[in-house]
């Protein structure tokens, strides 16, 4: 696709191109939005559905991320942080290597400031952190709330041990206490243990074991007038600027007897819906998100630990039918069986929040064939500078 010169921009990050994570930095923000809208419409066009006009929700293009996860590696005797990049050695083989970075303009400022302070402390006193074949520093995850008043840190170690040794626990506590003198917002931290060797180093396939902790296990995240308890490693939407707008779209003018929030996470949508529905059922399987969801203790919010598929298989046999269903599935989408079950439930309003336009397009076909109409279609630019698109489809029948 030919890009007009007027749509070109100077990338704000010195690592553009080499990093590969923010592929659209060389475009103006207006051009980025137009490109994403065109790509979304191109993916939906083959469905032959009658769709409403696409509504765009732009974001401040930089400093929007409330969470980053950096790869750690020792480079020239110093611990560095960066992102993994893939190098195609042959048509059949790919090598992963770390690209050390000096800044990350899409991250909330406190995140990179904390990363720099963390690296400086490790490099000033490397024992027992570096050159240790038994516990290898692998990743650093940082999470802050919208106004950057509180911060959580997770340090990922690769080890064969089932638990961290006492010396490491003591060193971690000392590290956190010292870091807290520089980053006053640091509320809590934890070590997560990963297998010593992994061919792909993928967070989607590796399950970490909990290790030593320091401070609070999570932080309070306020969106509009609602405050959520978000445990350290639980999923939460990452664009601190657009979360309020997303929440308003999903929950405003929605009311009734019963709402279902599927793939509920810590309850971003369900906790707000509880203000206008007599009963809200929130379904989540992942820990620690479910524990946070269950701790809301709202009398009309029922938290169910289950996969969405298992919940719907049982729910279609019951008499209760919701006025509203909200679903926010992972990148793999809802899938044919869940769509078929949703069609059987036949809630009057179905709101589908999607982080994968390809799977949204596939799921809309059976849903509309069952009697739903796409009443509204929204593009939320939760990931400026990148090619990722978040879509909200509001379906009615």
Domain containing residue 358: CATH number: 3.40.50.150
Nearest alpha-carbon partner for 67 in 139, 143, 118: 143
Say whether both 280 and 361 belong to one domain.
Answer: yes
At 58 the pLDDT is 98
CATH code, domain with 96: 2.40.50.1070
Low-confidence ranges of the chain (pLDDT < 70): 1, 87-90, 92-94, 197-205
Range of the domain at 317: 54-58+239-396
State pLDDT tens for residues 225-239. Answer: 899 999 999 999 999
Nearest in space to 141 (alpha carbons), one of 243, 66, 222:
66
233 assigned to some structural domain: no
The reply to whether 48 falls in a domain is no
Q: Exactly one of 13, 19, 339, 355 is catalytic; name it.
A: 355
Catalytic residue list contains 13: no
Q: Does residue 165 share a domain with residue 257? A: no
Residue 179 lies in a domain: yes
Q: Are residues 342 and 282 located together in one domain of the fold?
A: yes
Q: How many domains does the chain have?
A: 2
Taking the CA atoms of residue 313, residue 367, residue 365 and residue 1 in that order, the dihedral angle to the nearest 10 degrees is -100
In order of 92, 260, 263, the CA distances from 307 in angstroms are 36, 13, 8
Q: β-strands 277-284, 67-75: how paired?
A: unpaired
Q: What is the pLDDT of residue 204?
A: 58
Q: Considering the domain boundaries, does residue 136 fall inside one?
A: yes
In a domain, 112, yes or no: yes
Contact 208, 228 (CB under 8 A): no
Identify the pLDDT of residue 96: 77
d(C-alpha 96, C-alpha 139), whole Å: 14
pLDDT score at 156:
95
SS3 content of the chain, % helix, strand, coil (to 5): 25, 30, 40
What is the distance between the alpha carbons of residues 157 and 175, in angstroms, rounded to a whole number? 15
Tell me if 128 is assigned to some domain: yes
pLDDT at 202: 57
Q: What was the pLDDT predicted at 297? A: 85
Looking at the structure, do residues 323 and 389 belong to the same domain, yes or no? yes
The pLDDT score that the predictor gives to residue 1 is 59
Residues in the chain, overall count: 397
Structure confidence at residue 46 (pLDDT): 93
Whether 195 and 272 map to the same domain: the answer is no
Q: Do 152 and 246 fall into the same domain?
A: no
Residue 149 in any domain: the answer is: yes
Does a structural domain hold residue 169?
Answer: yes
Helices (H) and strands (E) in the chain, counts: 9, 17
- Measured distance CA(381)–CA(359) in Å, rounded: 18
């Amino acid at each position: 696709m030919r890009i007009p010169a007027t749509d070109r921009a100077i990338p704000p990050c010195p690592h553009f191109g080499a990093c590969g994570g923010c592929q659209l930095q060389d475009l103006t923000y207006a051009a980025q939005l137009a490109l994403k809208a065109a790509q979304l419409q191109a993916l939906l066009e083959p469905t032959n559905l009658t769709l409403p006009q696409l509504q765009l929700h732009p974001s401040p293009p930089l400093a929007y991320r409330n969470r980053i996860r950096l790869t750690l590696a020792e480079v020239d005797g110093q611990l560095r942080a960066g992102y993994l990049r893939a190098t195609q050695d042959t048509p059949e083989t790919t090598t992963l290597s770390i690209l050390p970075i000096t800044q990350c303009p899409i991250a909330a400022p406190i995140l990179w400031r904390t990363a720099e302070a963390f690296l400086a402390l490790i490099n000033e006193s490397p024992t027992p952190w570096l050159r240790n074949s038994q516990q290898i520093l692998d990743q650093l995850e940082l999470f802050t709330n919208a106004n950057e008043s509180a911060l959580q840190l997770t340090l990922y170690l690769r080890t064969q041990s089932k638990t961290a040794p006492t010396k490491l626990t003591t060193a971690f506590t000392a590290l956190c206490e010292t870091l807290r003198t520089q980053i006053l917002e640091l509320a809590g931290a934890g070590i997560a243990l990963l297998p010593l060797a992994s061919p792909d180093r993928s967070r989607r396939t590796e399950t970490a074991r909990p290790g030593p902790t320091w401070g609070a296990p999570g932080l309070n995240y306020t969106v509009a007038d609602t405050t959520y308890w978000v445990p350290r490693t639980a999923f939460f939407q990452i664009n601190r600027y657009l979360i309020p707008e997303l929440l308003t779209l999903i929950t405003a003018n929605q009311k009734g007897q019963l709402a279902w929030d599927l793939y509920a996470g810590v309850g971003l949508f369900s906790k707000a819906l509880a203000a206008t529905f007599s009963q809200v059922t929130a379904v989540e399987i992942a820990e620690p998100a479910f524990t946070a969801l269950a701790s809301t203790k709202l009398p009309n919010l029922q938290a169910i630990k289950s996969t969405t598929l298992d919940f719907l298989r049982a729910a279609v046999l019951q008499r209760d039918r919701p006025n509203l269903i909200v679903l926010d599935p992972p990148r793999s989408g809802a899938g044919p069986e869940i769509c078929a079950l949703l069609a059987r439930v036949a809630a009057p309003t179905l709101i589908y929040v999607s982080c994968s336009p390809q799977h949204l397009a596939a799921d809309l076909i059976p849903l509309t064939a069952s009697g739903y109409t796409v009443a509204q279609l929204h593009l939320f630019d939760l990931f400026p500078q990148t090619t990722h698109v978040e879509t909200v489809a509001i379906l009615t029948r």
